[in-house]
Amino acid sequence: MSLLSDLINLNLSNSTEKVIAEYIWIGGSGMDLRSKARTLPGPVTDPKKLPKWNYDGSSTGQAPGEDSEVIIYPQAIFKDPFRRGNNILVMCDAYTPGGEPIPTNKRFNAAKIFSHPDVAAEVPWYGIEQEYTLLQKEVKWPVGWPVGGFPGPQGPYYCGIGADKAFGRDIVDAHYKACLYAGINISGINGEVMPGQWEFQVGPSVGISAGDELWVARYILERITEIAGVVVSFDPKPIQGDWNGAGAHTNYSTKSMRNEGGFEIIKKAIEKLGLKHKEHIAAYGEGNERRLTGRHETADINTFLWGVANRGASIRVGRDTEKEGKGYFEDRRPASNMDPYVVTSMIAETTLLWKP
């Protein structure tokens, strides 16, 4: 008798040309990923060659029941680490039947900004540091913590090893390899300051692809935690008190910043970001005020300041960038639950298109 795992791992390419495409989209809350699968007659590598599809928007909080059809447009293809073979994951965005982007489709506006000639010419690079917390499923309390209680204070957990310091490493490593398999430009992982909290980094990725890759990396993480019976939280402050929050620090550079004399361009870009601080904070994630308190390696939410190697600043410039006179900077303000389409395009728009 076949084991369930044998059937899940069947290699379809031995018996059929058909492949399974898992269409992924963002639901009504702006953070809830949804997906469903369809059969294609053969392998596809170009999203433009994939059919559009639809879903019931009344069940995702994105359309009324009497006119519930939402159309999804395939935008990016990744290899499927769960089904493997020629099967694919497809990142989509959502439109009305008339072709208008629905309000929760943040990709549409981001793509317009990244296709602007002045932005495209600067080849914006992003590296996003996605922090998250693993929670015990039944009690929604971090893995490795005593139920209803607390572990020892922060200190030994950051990049820590050992059964009393690192909780959930099997999930983290599975996610790392699955992202590499999928073709996501995941550049690293590490244990974070709060026990049960981890981080992965996506990038450097150019323009709109940074958002596509981060969303699919989040999707893969949610699928792996589903298998493991653990809940992943992107809440920016999952545990109140003397514990670090969770952010999505966004590293950014343009061609001009990466070339000789780039440090002067960086300083001008940071000045622009300071002038639009309130607008950025408003778009950088829900509940960020609980995280940006001026403590736990953050700047206060109402204060904009930048510095070299300063983890308590809104914008941090690395020592290497200062030394070489060119490079990148890190926007430390985005919360872990930010929308990467919004944050990446907003940084590009403010620094490259906005005229103060």
Q: 296: pLDDT confidence band, cut at 50, 70 and 90?
A: low
Q: What percent of the chain is predicted at pLDDT more than 70?
A: 99
For residue 304, is it within any domain? Answer: yes
Q: What integer pLDDT is reported at residue 356 of this predicted model?
A: 80
The domain that holds 57 is classified in CATH as 3.10.20.70
Provide the pLDDT for residue 278.
95
- Give me the count of residues in the chain: 356
Tens digit of each residue's pLDDT (9 = 90 or more) over 307-321:
887 777 899 999 999
For the segment 78-86, the average pLDDT, to the nearest whole number, is 96
152 and 176 in a common domain: yes
CATH number at residue 168: 3.30.590.10
Domain-located, residue 281: yes
Residue-level pLDDT at 65: 78
pLDDT band at 255 (very low <50, low <70, confident <90, very high): very high
**Confidence band (pLDDT; 50, 70, 90) for 299?**
confident
Please give the span between the terminal C-alpha atoms of the chain, in angstroms, as a whole number: 70
**156 and 83 together in one domain:** no
88 lies in which domain range? 4-104
Lowest-confidence region among 46-50, 206-210, 284-288, 300-304: 300-304
Distance CA 146, CA 161 (A): 18
Of the candidates 100, 111, 110, the residue with the CA atom closest to the CA atom of residue 62: 100
Pairing verdict, β 69-79 and 197-206: unpaired
Partners of 306 in the β-ladder: 315
Residues 170 and 296 in one domain: yes
For the chain, the domain total comes to 2
What's the pTM value of the predicted model, to 2 decimals? 0.96
Same domain, 87 and 178: no
| Domain stops at, among 104, 127, 162 | 104
82 and 198 belong to one structural domain: no
Tell whether 327 is covered by a domain: yes
Does residue 25 lie in a domain region? yes
Amino acid 9: pLDDT: 86
pLDDT in tens, 108-157: 999 999 999 999 999 999 999 999 999 999 999 999 999 889 999 999 99
Indicate whether 206 and 176 sit together in one domain.
yes
Note whether 207 and 314 are same-domain residues: yes
Q: What is the C-alpha separation between 305 and 283, in angstroms, rounded? A: 18
Got the DSSP string for 218-279?
Answer: HHHHHHHHHHHTEEEE--SSSS-SSS---BEEEEEE-HHHHSTTHHHHHHHHHHHHHHTHHH
In a domain, 157, yes or no: yes
Q: Domain check: are 203 and 94 in the same one? A: no
| 112 falls within a domain | no
pLDDT of residue 313: 86
Which stretches within the chain are classed as H helix? 4-8, 107-115, 117-120, 169-182, 208-228, 255-258, 262-275, 277-283, 319-324, 340-348
Q: Do residues 31 and 150 share a domain? A: no
pLDDT at 1: 55
Query: What does the alpha-carbon distance between residue 68 and residue 208 come to, in Å, rounded to a whole number?
Result: 28
Of all residues in the chain, the percent with pLDDT exceeding 90 is: 85
Identify whether 109 is part of a domain.
no
Q: How far apart are alpha carbons 132 and 189 in whole angstroms?
A: 11
Q: Are residues 97 and 48 in the same domain?
A: yes
The tokens of 204 are what? 């450097």
Indicate whether 167 and 92 sit together in one domain. no
Domain boundary among 71, 104, 137: 104
139 and 73, same domain (yes or no): no
pLDDT band, residue 295 (cuts 50/70/90)? confident
Res. 199: pLDDT tops 80: yes
When pLDDT is averaged across residues 288-310 and rounded to a whole number, the result is: 83
In a domain, 111, yes or no: no
- How does the average pLDDT of the chain come out, rounded? 94
Q: Where a domain ends, among 57, 76, 104?
A: 104
